[in-house]
Amino acid sequence: MHNMTATVAFTPERLEKVKEIIGRYPEGKQKSALLPVLHLAQEQHGWVSSETMDYVAELLNIQPVEVYEVATFYTMFHLEPVGKHVIEYCRTGPCCTMGGEEVYAHLRERLGIETGETTADGKFTIKEVECLAACGWGPCFQIREKYYMHLTNQKVDEIIDELSK
């Protein structure tokens, strides 16, 4: 158990950040820090394991189940290991209107994987997401904080080439 905690523990900088985040809310309302802290956890580990959730519960002094129910509700949290680059592809109407489905087919073909899968070399995972609030700049996908917009087949190839280096 102790070893587990050691592997999911935050870096000292992130622990500082957690303290700062908790301080943003009124006394006793530290549960409000849950979403920002889960984002920090995912930033560090790439995904959110149940050990990580237990650790977050301990940090915020709440029950583990309170973390599980939240982490499973919000789609941004990866509850299983993912590839190095998670491509979150917008599948919603306006992007499709702008050619999103064709470009998505090309992306899957290029990587040789389907939605939810990870490439054999562990570099890429593709997920489908709903509207990313970039509809007029679509088709689009997101990798971590970065938005990739006005996608075409050629642009997808360039992005994948660049990230494969």
Partner 1 sequence: MAESIKILTEHFHQEGIEKLDVYKKHGGYAGLEKALKTMSPEQVVEEVKTSGVRGRGGAGFPMGMKWGFLAKPEGVPRYLVCNGDESEPGTFKDHYLMMKCPHLLIEGMIISSFALGANTSFIYVRGELMYVINILEKAIAEAKAAGYLGKNILGTGFDLELVVQPGGGAYICGEETALLESLEGKRGNPRNKPPFPAVKGLYQCPTVVNNVESIATTPWIMLNGGEAYSKIGIGRSTGTKLISASGHVKNPGVYEIELGLPVEEFIYSDQYLGGIREGHDLKAVVAGGSSVPILPKHLILKTAAGEPRLMSYESLSEGGFASGTMLGSGGFIAMDETTCIVRNTWNFARFYRHESCGQCSPCREGTGWMEKVLYRLEHGKGNERDIDLLVDVAKKIEGNTICPLGDAAAWPVASAIRHFREEFEWHVRHPELAIAPGAVFNKETEAVLN
For ligand FES, the binding residues (CB under 6 A) are 90, 92-95, 131-135, 138, 140
Binding flag, residue 115, partner 1 (CB under 8 A): yes
SS3 of residue 143 by DSSP: strand
| Residues ≥6 apart with Cβ < 8 Å to 20 | none
CB of 80 to ligand FES, least distance (A): 25
Beta pairing partners, 148: 141
Side-chain half-sphere CA neighbours of 145 within 13 A:
4
- Comparison of 47 and 137: residue with beta carbon closer to ligand FES: 137
- Comparison of 39 and 84: residue with beta carbon closer to partner 1: 39
Question: To 10 degrees, the CA torsion angle through 42, 47, 52, 54?
Answer: 100
Q: Which residues form the interface with partner 1 (CB under 8 A)?
A: 24-26, 29, 31-36, 38-39, 60, 62, 66, 69-70, 73-77, 88, 91-94, 96-98, 101, 104, 114-116, 128-138, 142, 144-147
